[in-house]
């Protein structure tokens, strides 16, 4: 039967509206929005469509050219049946067990919540209909997108199923609709495929909230130091600083802190492994989760760094800056004195700018290598080299940038306002901590132990590892 179909399907032209006389017929159970949208799309791609409905005569909203029959009659027209019904109504399909025997049932359903049921809809369907070949597909595609042709988004259709032939039949249909099928293996994958469309950036949540908290904290901190303090003591209205000056203090601090937060779980994990003397015990859940969203933390940090660069480069165009420099020059011209050149200051100023720019350059490089298509073409050794070596170099450069920027002003009591130090001082706490611990960890004596642990050695084992195994096994 499958072989017959294959011959027929070869005559159907994809992506063209020409209708051949031997169109492949596909049956769709259910006349809801998704069923109709999919049916319309398939009609446009040259398939012949028969809808199955409980009340065939009541279903008048169907696309032109599609037939509508009772469930059992419709099922007889095709060996591929798309089940566009809600899970709660799968039970009635058991009445059709005989008609559906040997057919390919395509489960397109989605749930309303992640892990709503203990087993996926597709696996539930497969249990109800053991005689049919259940394939999960199309649930990641939006009905609206099918309808409007606006498939700018992912054209990927995740497909899984236990029967290989059935799965490949469905994948061919997916291709003929101009979409890209992605084989996800057996029906085991169905629950993940059903959860997929419900997610909204799950790995971004912690990084997002962390950076929001950081921004709000430093915003309040800077408003107190830079706007309220001068207003109270000098009656100076500095509110215009809210637009650029204050954000340009928050952005670099957030960027540096988040970048350090990317490397913090790594050093915590190393300390934990040293303390436990083994790598075969799981990390606590919070550390696991933290490690899994390091990429997202790093990308948000890069975003802040990018904003910091923009906000810094725009400085000489600002009215406030031009006014200040202009007035300074005028008053010096009036008092007829030129500035002497301060070589030390020129050195410091150029160094912190250079450190910042090199740090930003490496940061952009890290960002580019974390693009999926780039990280897929590098192997593990190369990825580690870039993300670990270059990553720490970036952290060192950015920390040095902030340190040199602060210069000697840092812990100068004259810089305290209401006992609050400059915001940069606070921003340096985490990066410096990470760098100091990392420096200790790469001291030869400690690094040696850590390397052994990471290669599988364990400190406290009841029975010592047999020397034979240690040499033989990978």
- Which residues within the stretch 146-175 sit at the binding site for its own copies (CB under 8 A)? 147-150, 152-154, 156, 162, 164, 168, 171-172, 175
CA distance to 83, 127, 179, 180, per residue, from 146 (Å): 17, 30, 10, 14
Complex with its own copies: residue 392 or 426, whichever CB lies closer: 392
Query: Which of the residues 393 through 452 are near its own copies (CB under 8 A)?
Result: none
Does 388 sit near its own copies (CB under 8 A)? no
Residue whose pair of structure tokens reads 């169109």 in the numeric block: 23
Piece of the chain touching its own copies by CB under 8 A; list 71-79, 206-214, 240-248, 412-420: 240-248
Buried b (16+ CB within 10 A) or exposed e, 212-230: eebbeebbebbbebbbebe
How far is residue 114 from each of residues 6, 110, 160, 227, 241, measured CA to CA in Å?
A: 37, 10, 18, 46, 45
User: Which one, 240 or 439, has the nearer CB to its own copies?
Assistant: 240
Which segments within 179-310 are labelled E, that is strand? 180-183
Q: How far is the CB of 415 from its own copies (least distance, A)?
A: 20
- Told to check if 330 binds its own copies by CB under 8 A, we report yes
Q: Looking at 32, 65, 102, 284, which residue binds its own copies (CB under 8 A)?
A: 32
- The binder of its own copies chosen from 34, 221, 263, 405 (CB under 8 A): 34
Q: Is 432 within 8 Å of 399 (Cβ atoms)?
A: yes
Stretch that binds its own copies, among 325-333, 391-399, 410-418, 432-440 (CB under 8 A): 325-333
In angstroms, give the least distance from the CB of 435 to its own copies.
20
User: Which residues from 48-77 bind its own copies, rule CB under 8 A?
Assistant: 53-55, 58-61, 63
Chosen residue from 17, 98, 338, 445 binding its own copies by CB under 8 A: 338
Listed ranges 94-102, 188-196, 413-421, 439-447: which one lies at the site for its own copies (CB under 8 A): 188-196
CB atoms closer than 10 angstroms to residue 279: 17
Among 112, 341, 414, 443, binds its own copies (CB under 8 A): 341
Cα–Cα dist 407/415, whole Å: 12
Residue 411: how many other CB atoms lie within 10 Å: 11
Helices 205-223 and 294-313: crossing angle in degrees, nearest 10, is 40
Cβ proximity to its own copies: between 141 and 301 the closer is: 141
Please, are residues 193 and 139 in contact by the beta-carbon 8 Å criterion? yes
Binding mask 197-236 for its own copies (x = CB under 8 A): xxxxx-----------------------------------
Other CB atoms within 10 Å distance of the CB of residue 187: 23
**Which range of residues in 98-106, 213-221, 342-350, 431-439 is near its own copies by CB under 8 A?**
342-350
For residue 84, give every residue at least 6 positions away whose Cβ sits within 8 Å of its Cβ, in sequence order, or none.
28, 29, 30, 31, 32, 34, 35, 38, 108, 109
- Residue 114 as a binder of its own copies (CB under 8 A): the answer is no
* 3 state SS of 352: helix
121 lies in the binding site for its own copies (CB under 8 A): no
238 closest CA partner among 230, 415, 225: 230
For residue 392, the minimal CB distance to its own copies (Å) is 16
Which two structure tokens, joined as six digits, stand for 164? 């290989």
Stretch that binds its own copies, among 71-79, 218-226, 412-420, 465-473 (CB under 8 A): 465-473
Q: Does 17 bind its own copies (CB under 8 A)?
A: no
**Minimum distance between the CB of residue 175 and its own copies, rounded to whole angstroms?**
4
Stretch that binds its own copies, among 27-35, 98-106, 214-222, 407-415 (CB under 8 A): 27-35
Can you tell me which of 4, 112, 234, 339 binds its own copies, judged by CB under 8 A? 339
Span of 36-44, 73-81, 206-214, 439-447 interacting with its own copies by CB under 8 A: 36-44
CB of 419 to its own copies, least distance (A): 29
Tokens of 213: 């908290």
Cβ contacts of 122 within 8 Å, gap of 6 or more = 107, 109, 134, 135, 136, 160, 187, 190, 193, 194
State which residue, 101 or 175, has the beta carbon closest to its own copies: 175
The residue behind tokens 């760098």 is: 435
């Amino acid at each position: 039967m499958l072989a017959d179909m294959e011959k027929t399907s070869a005559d159907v032209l994809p992506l063209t509206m020409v209708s051949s006389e031997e169109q492949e017929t596909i049956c769709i159970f259910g006349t809801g929005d998704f069923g109709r949208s999919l049916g319309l799309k398939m009609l446009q791609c040259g398939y012949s469509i028969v809808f199955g409905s409980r009340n065939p005569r009541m279903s008048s909203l169907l696309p032109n050219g599609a037939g509508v029959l009772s469930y059992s009659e419709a099922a007889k027209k095709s060996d591929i049946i798309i089940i566009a019904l809600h899970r709660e109504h799968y039970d009635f399909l058991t009445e059709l067990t005989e008609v559906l025997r040997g057919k390919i049932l395509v489960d397109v359903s989605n749930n309303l919540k992640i892990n709503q049921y203990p087993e996926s809809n597709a696996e539930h369907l497969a249990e109800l209909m053991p005689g049919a070949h259940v394939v999960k597909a199309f649930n990641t595609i939006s009905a609206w997108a099918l309808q409007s042709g606006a498939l700018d988004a992912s054209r990927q259709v995740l497909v899984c199923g236990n029967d290989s032939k059935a799965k490949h039949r469905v994948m061919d249909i997916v291709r003929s609709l101009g979409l890209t099928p992605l084989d996800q293996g057996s029906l085991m994958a169905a629950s993940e495929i059903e959860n997929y469309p419900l997610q909204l950036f799950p790995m971004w949540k912690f990084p997002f909230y962390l950076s929001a908290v950081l921004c709000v904290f430093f915003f309040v901190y800077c408003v107190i130091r830079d706007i309220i303090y001068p207003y109270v003591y000098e009656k100076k209205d500095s509110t215009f600083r809210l637009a650029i000056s204050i954000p340009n203090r928050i952005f670099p601090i957030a960027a540096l802190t988040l970048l350090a937060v990317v490397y913090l779980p790594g050093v915590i994990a190393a300390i934990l492994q040293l303390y436990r003397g083994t790598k075969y015990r799981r990390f606590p859940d919070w550390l696991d989760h933290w490690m899994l969203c390091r990429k997202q933390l790093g990308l948000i940090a890069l975003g802040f760094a990018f904003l910091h660069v923009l906000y810094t480069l725009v400085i000489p165009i600002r009215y406030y800056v031009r006014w200040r420099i202009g007035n300074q020059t005028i008053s010096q011209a009036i008092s007829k004195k030129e500035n002497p050149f301060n070589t030390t200051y020129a050195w410091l100023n150029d160094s912190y700018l250079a450190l910042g720019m090199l740090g930003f350059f490496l940061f952009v490089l890290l960002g580019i290598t974390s693009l999926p298509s780039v990280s897929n073409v590098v192997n593990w050794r190369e990825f580690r080299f870039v993300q670990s070596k270059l990553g720490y170099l970036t952290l060192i450069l950015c920390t040095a940038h902030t340190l040199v920027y602060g210069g000697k002003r840092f812990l100068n009591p004259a810089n305290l306002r209401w006992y609050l130090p400059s915001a940069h001082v606070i921003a340096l706490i985490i990066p410096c901590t990470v760098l100091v611990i990392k420096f200790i960890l790469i001291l030869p004596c400690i690094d040696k132990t850590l390397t052994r642990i990471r290669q599988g050695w364990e400190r406290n084992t009841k029975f010592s590892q047999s020397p034979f195994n240690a040499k033989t096994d990978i």
